[in-house]
Structure 1
Amino acid sequence: MLKINFKEYEALRAHGQETYPHECCGVLLGKAADGANEVREVVRAGNTRTDSAHNRYNIAPGELIKIQRQARNAGLDIVGFYHSHPDHPAMWSATDIAEAHWIGCSYVITRVAGGNAEITNSFLLQGTGEDDKSFADEAIEILMAEATA
């Protein structure tokens, strides 16, 4: 299960709308606990794909290392990644599975149709390595901020 606050959930969906008709991408920081990836922060990343930005994404290694350091300094881990699918279903593609390497992480995909974020799905990357990795559908629990007194 992926647990995410409403604010962060809306932030990753808004990112997809802003970059439409190109794919957006980013990293989910948090903690894995009790069988769930709990997101505490959504970090936007630049899509470095210039050849097919409308249907592919890539996070530059240097940027990913910077985000990893940011997570470590905050006492968090990378628990997932997100990207958008402009005018395509919020389902993983053959490219998505081929380019997914972080076993145990959540991969969140939002369908952005005509510039509007529609469906958002999450998939957990399972397996022990490249030879047996697979995506499993993952429920998303959206947490509402608690009211303050």
Structure 2
Amino acid sequence: MRKRTAVIAAVAIVAVGGGIAYAAWSSSGAGTGSVGSTADVNSTISAVDGAGGLYPGHTVSFQVTIDNPNDYPVKVTGISAGASALVNGCAEGTVTSSAVTNPAGTIAAGATGTYTLQATMDTDAGDACKSQSFTMPLTATLSSAA
């Protein structure tokens, strides 16, 4: 009788335990997730130095910095050509800079990059162009480098 009681108890434990495992419910879920993109912030170009040494027909190097106020790295894909404004009698367009395509380097998020450009004074520049500082508007195009 003891043996029979032990077998019945073992079967009962297995049945109850198996019933608990079998009675455990399973389910699945469905729905959606949501994320948003950031907005870009325009960069600014600033002069690093006012390179001197220009005279009619001569070319000098000058540097500009481009900042990246975005939360992601960017690559400068181009910098536009520039032309000087009228300066104290020195004609508009007397000093020009060439466009630059795909300059090297990436600008990290929140950082700045320095770029070297070339400026040339027109061969017909008159005396009014002596000892002047020339400002050229420039535009940079950038793309995400992430």
TM (norm. structure 2) is 0.27
Pick the structure with more strand per residue. 1
Pick the structure with more helix per residue. 1
TM (norm. structure 1) is 0.27
